[in-house]
Homo-oligomer: A and B are copies of this chain.
Amino acid sequence: MSSGLEHILQQLRQFRDERDWAQFHNPKDLALALSIEAAELNEQFLWKLPEAANPNKVREELADVLLYAVQLADKYGWDIEQLMQEKIARNAEKYPISKAKGTATKYDEL
């Protein structure tokens, strides 16, 4: 893990423990919190053209999503860079260039 991510994790753990919040942070509720933040992120785009959201608000809601994502990964002891690397490799198998080029069709319908 990068030293930047490691530092972020240390701060998040300290933040949680100073507030005695570990009792709430089971994996199910962390995932639920992440999806609620994802909805708040989507709300910035609601009723708008694809590029018309306020970037400052998008930035903040995206940060909330990421903070829960790294905390959920940390709960399982995972390195987020490593799990992203693995998924990129898997996606390359699921979406071969020859089939996926120029189409947004899902892999199981390609």
Q: Is the interface of A mostly helix, strand, loop or mixed?
A: helix
CB contact under 8 A between A11 and B59, given known A33-B46, A44-B31: no
The number of residues on chain A lying at the interface, defined by a beta carbon within 8 Å of a beta carbon of chain B, is 73
Neighbour of A72 across the interface among B31, B39, B62, B83, CB < 8 A: B62
Q: How many copies does the complex hold?
A: 4
Show the binding face of A for B, using Cβ within 8 Å: 1-5, 8, 11-12, 15, 18-21, 23-24, 26-29, 31-36, 38-51, 53, 55, 58-60, 62-67, 69-70, 72-73, 76, 78, 80-81, 83-88, 90-92, 95, 97, 100-102, 104
Sample of 9 A–B contacts (CB below 8 Å): A2-B3, A8-B81, A8-B84, A34-B38, A36-B43, A58-B76, A62-B69, A66-B66, A66-B69
